[in-house]
């Protein structure tokens, strides 16, 4: 299930990049968010990620593979993206 959610997060980001960024390149390019979303040290710990809202280097969400990996992602961001703060959020599905 998490893998599918991660894949679903990637498509809106690709659509945003393709269709919306060209409408206002100066404000929507979001180089920091895109660098984080594609950052190689994070990739092994996630199923997917995307910018949130109109991005502007503001907020990103990731679907981590498990809670241990979530902590690793936070550690990476705290060390390599000093301008960002992490907010840990865990949701649980009901069977």
Instruction: Collapse the DSSP code of 36 into the 3-class scheme (helix H, G, I; strand E, B; otherwise coil) and give the result.
Output: helix
Residues 36, 28: Cα–Cα separation, whole Å: 15
Residues 71, 78: Cα–Cα separation, whole Å: 10
Give the pLDDT confidence score for residue 6 in this predicted structure: 79
Q: What is the DSSP string of 57-77?
A: T--EEEEESSHHHHHHHHHHH
What ranges do the domains of the chain cover? 2-80
**Per-residue pLDDT tens over the stretch 37-93:** 999 999 999 999 888 866 666 788 898 989 999 999 999 999 999 888 888 888 777
Nearest to 36 by CA among 63, 12, 67, 57: 57
pTM of the model: 0.78
């Amino acid at each position: 299930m998490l893998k599918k959610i991660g894949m679903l997060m990637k498509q809106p980001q690709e659509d945003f990049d393709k269709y919306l960024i060209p409408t206002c390149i100066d404000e929507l390019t979001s180089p920091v968010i895109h660098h984080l979303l594609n950052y190689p040290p994070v990739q092994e710990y996630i199923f997917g990620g995307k910018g949130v809202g109109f991005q502007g280097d503001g907020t990103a969400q990731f679907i981590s593979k498990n809670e241990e990996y979530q902590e690793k992602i936070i550690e990476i961001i705290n060390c390599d993206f000093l301008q960002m703060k992490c907010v840990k959020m865990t949701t649980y599905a009901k069977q």
